[in-house]
Amino acid sequence: MRVLFLFATILVAAVLAVDQQTHPSMQGMQSLSISYETPEQFSLLKNYVDDPGFDFVRSTNDLVDVLVTADKIEEFKQLLEEHRMNYTVMIEDVQQLVTEEYITQEVERRLQAGTQDYASGRLSFTYYPNYKEVNEYLTYLTQTYKNIASLITIGNSYEGRSMKVLKLSTGGANKPAIFIDAGIHAREWIAPATALYMVDLMLQSHRDLLSKVDWYVLPVLNPDGYEYTHSSSANRLWRKTRSNTGSTCRGVDGNRNYDMQWMTIGASSDPCSDTYAGPKPFSEVENQHLRDFILARKGQIKAYLTFHSYGQYILYPWGWTSNVPANEPELRNLAIQCAQAIAKSRRTRYTYGTSYNALYPNSGCSDDWAMDKAGIKLSFTYELPGGNYGDLLPASEIKPVGIETFEALKVTHQYVTSKY
Ligand code: ARG
Ligand code: ZN
């Protein structure tokens, strides 16, 4: 299999004449899913949280998924076995999967490239669009749905990429609005794709969702990071922004950077950490733009939804404390209904709860900020599915994930219109 794949890779690479993304850290890197039971086992894992060879991409009360570099993997597996901890290898070779993904991307893109649709900027949703393709699609929407879709440029990213919010409105004053963002974490490619596919569904076949509610969609909140994960000379697994931190390591975890219990829990002050909270709250210009946009529409926005991957969670405040917000029953009910709607659509099981209780404690997050500082009572983080691939979910999942997640969006819309 592997040899065959290698041949195919070389062949396709030659035909496509493109550099593929190789990164020293991804050669021989594996993704392990580890279950733990005792506090001792948990603290053993915790020892590795700040180890540069380890990237804990997901953790729950009884399992963690961790990417481990080639030089550390054997020793680490041995340790797990010594402590009788069960693990499965989720991804045998991260570099190989990244290469596979890259080829599929290029093949799908080139299949589209000759078509009229592609020329118009329309997306096929058969591959993950890069930053430029996202923008072309947004422009296409404004040209195709002139009376409904418009763009609001909210500013530039650190590296100067423009950040565009898509507004969908059928007109009329004082309508409630729902705000959606995605892509604050660069490598979570399914998030922007899902946000855009849901927009596509709304415009093509579910116009009823547009009659009583205005929508604001910011598909790529971290354009620099997103573009970095898409470029061949960079790192597919990059999570943070790309700002200069004054250290040799670049970037801030956008979702630890909000002025909401900043740096109190589950965030790092080390610029080399993947959860680096930044030098100060809202140090990241991308987050400043989001803040200003939302605060300018404070009364209008009734629901804040932020899309991440992965793990299948519907999360609501708070992330920084085990206490629950005053309207916790309301949030829980809505989360349950959304989870049920998704389950009904494709049997995908979501877990729900406060971020602190259902996932892990962390501070400086956008959903907590939206509720507390922008007064948006309905604030949710969606962790979309990762299948067996985590953030390397194949692009063939974009439409299925979009369709099932759209069911939750319908429920949220229904709730917002019934209440406001
Ligand atoms: N995976 C997300 C992150 O680590 C979860 C954030 C959930 N929200 C929260 N307030 N903790 O950033
Ligand atoms: Zn994320």
What does the chain come to in residues?
A: 420
Does the annotation count 383 as an active-site position?
Answer: yes
pLDDT value at 181 more than 90: yes
Prior bond of 197 cis (ω within 30°)? no
Q: How far is the CA of 186 from the centre of ligand 2 (A)?
A: 8
CB of 319 sitting under 6 A from ligand 1: yes
Helices (H) and strands (E) in the chain, counts: 12, 12
Distance between Cα 142 and ligand 1 center (Å)? 32
Q: Closest ligand to 367 CA?
A: 1
- ipTM, two decimals: 0.94
Q: Name the band, by pLDDT with cuts 50, 70 and 90, for residue 59.
A: confident
Nearest to 355 by CA among 309, 322, 391: 322
- With a pLDDT cut of 90, the percent of the chain lying above it is 90
Instruction: Name the band, by pLDDT with cuts 50, 70 and 90, for residue 9.
Output: low
Residue 8: its pLDDT value, please?
58
Q: Is the peptide bond before 369 cis (omega within 30 degrees of 0)?
A: no
User: Residue 342 C-alpha to ligand 2 middle, in angstroms?
Assistant: 20
CA of 121 to the centre of ligand 1 (A): 32
- Whether the CB of 91 sits within 6 Å of ligand 1: no
Tokens in use for 318? 């708070």
pLDDT band at 287 (very low <50, low <70, confident <90, very high): very high
59 lines ligand 1 (CB under 6 A): no
Q: Which of 188, 383, 404, 407 is catalytic?
A: 383
Cβ contacts of 140 within 8 Å, gap of 6 or more: 120, 121, 122
Task: Kindly state the helix (H) or strand (E) to which residue 400 belongs, with its residue range.
Answer: helix 398-419
Q: How confident is the model at residue 210 (pLDDT cuts 50, 70, 90)?
A: very high
Q: Which atom of ligand 1 is nearest to the CA of 368?
A: 10
**pLDDT given for residue 233 in this prediction:** 78
Tell me the mean pLDDT in the region 182-210: 98
Decide if pLDDT at 3 tops 90: no
For residues 267 and 378, is the Cβ–Cβ distance under 8 A?
no
pLDDT at 24: 74
Q: Does residue 175 carry a pLDDT above 70? A: yes
Q: Is 259 exposed, middle or buried (0-12, 13-18, 19+ CB in 10 A)?
A: middle
Residue 11 has pLDDT above 60, yes or no: no
pLDDT at 50: 81
* Geometric angle at alpha carbon 344, from 343 and 348, rounded to 5°: 25
Ligand nearest to the Cα of 239, by number = 2
Distance CA(104)–CA(146), nearest Å, equals 33
Fill in the DSSP letter of residue 230. H
pLDDT of residue 342: 98
Residue 362: CB within 6 Å of ligand 1? yes
Report the distance separating Cα 230 and Cα 193, nearest Å: 14
Residue 413, CB half-sphere, CA atoms under 13 Å: how many?
21
**Residue closest by Cα to atom 3 of ligand 1:** 255
Q: Is ligand 1 within 6 A of the CB of residue 368? A: yes
Between the alpha carbon of residue 291 and those of residues 131, 195, 276, 287, 305, the distances in Å are 21, 19, 19, 6, 14
Distance CA(26)–CA(197), nearest Å, equals 30
* First-to-final CA distance of the chain: 56
pLDDT at 155 over 80: yes
pLDDT over threshold 70, residue 358? yes
pLDDT tens digits, one per residue of 289-302? 999 999 999 999 99
Name the band, by pLDDT with cuts 50, 70 and 90, for residue 324: very high
The pLDDT value recorded for residue 22 is 77
Task: Tell me the best of 273, 306, 359 to mutate to test the pocket of ligand 1, counting ligand atoms within 8 Å of each CB and taking the most.
Answer: 359
